[in-house]
């Protein structure tokens, strides 16, 4: 068995909730093309991200990076604003 360095996923999105302690919810939108009808549409997904200092507020544009699981739902940390 070999251990490989996995490329960490980096996503950009908007903070939609900051009610939890040291956690923010970030909504990330992807612009995709429908395979049959060829129409473009947006898919939104929400990610829980770790925010150590509770410095990010609702509406902030942030960049989140994948990390080892911090809790059941948190596998991302807020990298930058």
Residues 6+ apart with CB under 8 A from 53: none
pLDDT digits (tens, 9 = 90+) for 46-81: 999 999 999 999 999 999 999 999 999 999 999 988
pTM of the model: 0.84
Domain ranges of the chain: 10-80
Q: What is the pLDDT of residues 6-47, one digit of tens each?
A: 788 899 999 999 999 999 999 999 999 999 999 999 999 999
Q: Which of 67, 39, 28 is nearest to 51 (CA)?
A: 67
R_g of the chain computed on alpha carbons: 15
CATH of domain 10-80: 2.40.50.140
pLDDT in tens, 36-48: 999 999 999 999 9
């Amino acid at each position: 068995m070999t251990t490989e360095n996995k490329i960490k996923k980096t996503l950009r999105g908007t903070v939609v909730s900051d009610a939890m302690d040291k956690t923010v919810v970030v909504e990330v939108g992807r612009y995709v093309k429908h395979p049959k009808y060829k129409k473009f549409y947006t898919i939104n997904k929400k990610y829980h991200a770790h925010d150590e200092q509770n410095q990010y507020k609702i509406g902030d544009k942030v960049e989140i990076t994948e990390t080892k699981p911090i809790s059941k739902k948190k596998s991302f940390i807020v990298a930058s604003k």
